[in-house]
Amino acid sequence: MLPLCFSISSVFPASIPEATLTKLAKLGIHNRFDLVLHLPLRYEDETRVTQIVELVHGVSTQVEGEIIHSEVMFRPRRSLICQLQDSSGVLHLRFLNFYPSQQKQLEVGKKIRALGEVRMGYFGMEMVHPKCRVAGESTPLKQALTPVYPTTAGLPQATLSKHIQAALNELELSDTLPADLLTRLKLPSFADSVRLLHNPPSDIDEDALLKRTHHAWLRIKFDELLAQQLSMRIHYRKRRSRNAPRLRALGHFTERLLQTLPFSLTTAQQKTLREISRDLEQAHPMQRLLQGDVGSGKTIVALLAALQAIENGYQVALMSPTEILAEQHYHKLRDWLEPLGISPVWLSGSLKKKDKQAAIERIAQGETQLAIGTHALFQDQVIFPKLGLVIVDEQHKFGVQQRLALRGKGDEPHQLMMSATPIPRTLAMSYYADLDVSVIDELPPGRTPVITKLVSDSRREEVLARVRQACLAGQQAYWICPLIDESDTLELQTALETHQRLAQALPDLRVGLVHGKLNTVEKLHAMAAFKTGETHLLVATTVVEVGVDVPNAAMMVIEHAERMGLAQLHQLRGRVGRGAAQSLCILLFQQPLSELARARLKIIYENTDGFEIAQQDLSLRGPGELLGARQSGVPMLRFADVTEDAALLNCAQAVADEMLCDFQQEARAHLQRWMANRQDYLHV
């Protein structure tokens, strides 16, 4: 890791009281440089005075005049009411909370300047709680717009502003970008940019300031994106400098498997497989994310990658987020691998102690070529003597830390991460900059898209009839109960009740139940019964969200769809439409719908492409929600917006690579400036 030394000048001066420091820390301000980057939310214009007759409703304006009346009134509630007069008219100032000192400041005869938003009030045109200063005609007006900062209780704007101005004046704000680069990018210097944003001249394009499209803003956003790219690319390079076994594409097993498959790989599967295969042949660890929509066929690609490792005499670990999924992988892969003479081992936390021990031993002796399981695979007592490749399925379900912990085992294995939560390209560029990304961008042929219907909960009876009809005709269906709130108990209760109600309402169907509180054996049993067609209808909580594959299930009902996230709905819906039959997904919703819920349901109703859904979700909710667990370890962006600032992001990515080659000193200074507080991340 780059040595990060803290520049002395950035430390707070001893003159700032402890109480203030605590409040600053609340705002994420830990040194003077953070003060410089604490940028205004908006501005007030105290550079001019407006005549009272010219005041416009709803606009924040400064007026100047003499107090001609001042009294405390008790109706409609206790308030201080003053009348301010200038040569053009009279305006009411109203204060609901006020101190004696304020009352004194606003005594009759005082000359003051008041700044506030004008609106129609109890007494006509008024300002509520305007900012007031004693000032006459000869008091000079401010030269720059007055910044309004995000702050916290007990830390007045004036105090915050004073510290920020001091930091601006006293810190050396030298540029971290090489001069040539700045010229080429047509960006202003860092010092000019922050000074301007904290003290914009009165003639500035205020709209560009507020919309953050002003050049000064672009520079800040660029710097932030660059810091993010630099830190992630350094990670990437660092991991890449380690050694990994070269796993040649020998074709012993892979060719044989391909010959026995009942289908041929799609073009997209072939392309991603080539990318992975090439990585595995390198002498440094692969760090690749395989993205593909639900049902795009990632498993077979991962299996072929696993075989490439196995045919070189290495072990492979395949990790799934849930036991259901791990178990399903195990069965599916076992069927595919048996003809090749390979028998995988299954390892989960819920195995009997004896079985677990046996599995661990087989792994430790190197007998096991492929181990499949949950994160139990990576507990301390499991030792892989020859681990060549780690595959992480549904990686978004794991935190970054968990993922990175995999590195610690054995020599450096290659890593293949898989994700069915499609990430829009800009977001991937930003938050997955430490990974190479392969995308399966087509579905296997012959799939009929799932039909989605939005149905109000009041029409439940009709839905029941429809389920019954489908099941009696030989199909199967899922009935999904969502997480009502954070509490598992409630979720469980809902699932149990729903199961009971449905079993009563549909006496001629066999209704199964699977939820997170069942133990593994019960869970697997319920899944197996559904898979073999023994049960017609499976009531399930969102445990079936990821990966479950039962092709005969052609119908799904999702309760309270309005409460679920889009990625989750898309994942759930992906459980149907896996066979030849036309599939149907019914989203039950409860009235009334909030605007956001309505917007979300509309997106899922109108789109079947996971990437498109993710893109729209991104604009609806921002990146934090979309990235899920990953956000915990990745520096989120404060200023830049990956959607709006895609062009800057593109540029930052190229510049980061360039700087890491040609301007390492500057790259280090830049990271130090922007990431000094993010050492946690830098040392992951």
The mark string for 553-592 relative to ligand ADP (x by CB under 6 A, - otherwise) is -------------------------x--------------
Query: Which of Mg ion, ligand ADP, none does 263 bind, CB closer than 5 to 8 A by kind?
Result: ligand ADP
Structure tokens at 253: 């097993």
Query: Which of Mg ion, ligand ADP, none does 369 bind, CB closer than 5 to 8 A by kind?
Result: none
Among 17, 68, 263, 449, binds ligand ADP (CB under 6 A): 263
| Candidate segments 34-42, 288-296, 371-379, 583-591, binder of ligand ADP by CB under 6 A | 288-296
- Kindly list the residues in this chain that would bind Mg ion in the complex (CB under 5 A): 547
Distance CA 102, CA 82 (A): 11
Query: Which of ligand ADP, Mg ion, none does 575 bind, CB closer than 5 to 8 A by kind?
Result: none
Among 130, 295, 388, 635, binds ligand ADP (CB under 6 A): 295
Per-residue CA distances from 604 to 449, 546, 593, 611, 636 (Å): 13, 17, 15, 12, 26
CB of 329 to ligand ADP, least distance (A): 9
Which amino acid makes up residue 253? Answer: F
Distance CA 464, CA 467 (A): 5
CB of 548 to ligand ADP, least distance (A): 9
| Candidate segments 94-102, 183-191, 296-304, 341-349, binder of ligand ADP by CB under 6 A | 296-304
CB of 280 to ligand ADP, least distance (A): 19
Q: Does 269 bind ligand ADP (CB under 6 A)?
A: yes
Q: Does 294 bind ligand ADP (CB under 6 A)?
A: yes
| Candidate segments 74-82, 236-244, 259-267, 621-629, binder of ligand ADP by CB under 6 A | 259-267
Residue 21 has phi, psi (to 5 degrees) of -60, -40
How many residues interact with ligand ADP (rule CB under 6 A)? 17
Which amino acid makes up residue 192? Answer: D
Residue 50 or 322 with smaller CB distance to Mg ion:
322
CB of 298 to Mg ion, least distance (A): 5
Which amino acid makes up residue 156? Answer: P
Among 549, 609, 644, 666, binds ligand ADP (CB under 6 A): 549
CB of 576 to Mg ion, least distance (A): 15
Of 315, 287, 301, 278, the closest CA to residue 407 belongs to: 287
Distance CA 444, CA 447 (A): 7
Among 93, 273, 420, 514, binds ligand ADP (CB under 6 A): 420
Structure tokens at 187: 């960006």
Site for ligand ADP in 425-484 (CB under 6 A): 444
Distance CA 95, CA 82 (A): 9
Distance CA 496, CA 492 (A): 6
Which amino acid makes up residue 370? Answer: L
Report yes or no: 624 and 423 within 8 Å, Cβ to Cβ.
Answer: no
Among 24, 39, 226, 300, binds ligand ADP (CB under 6 A): 300
Task: Quote the strand ranges of 430-492, DSSP E.
Answer: 436-440, 451-456, 476-480
Report yes or no: 387 and 410 within 8 Å, Cβ to Cβ.
Answer: yes
Query: Which of ligand ADP, Mg ion, none does 325 bind, CB closer than 5 to 8 A by kind?
Result: none
Query: Across-strand partners of 67?
Result: 84
Instruction: Please state whether beta strands 387-392 and 315-319 pair in parallel, antiparallel, or not at all (unpaired).
Output: parallel
Residue 512 has phi, psi (to 5 degrees) of -95, 170
Residue 37 or 390 with smaller CB distance to Mg ion:
390
CB of 546 to ligand ADP, least distance (A): 9
Residue 292 or 424 with smaller CB distance to ligand ADP:
292
Burial label for 206, CB within 10 Å (0-12, 13-18, 19+), is middle
Residue 326 or 581 with smaller CB distance to Mg ion:
326
CB of 414 to Mg ion, least distance (A): 19
Of 527, 552, 288, the closest CA to residue 418 belongs to: 288
CB of 296 to ligand ADP, least distance (A): 4
Report yes or no: 376 and 349 within 8 Å, Cβ to Cβ.
Answer: yes
Burial label for 585, CB within 10 Å (0-12, 13-18, 19+), is buried
| Candidate segments 223-231, 297-305, 340-348, 514-522, binder of ligand ADP by CB under 6 A | 297-305
Residues that bind ligand ADP (CB under 6 A): 263, 265-266, 269, 292, 294-300, 420, 444, 547, 549, 578
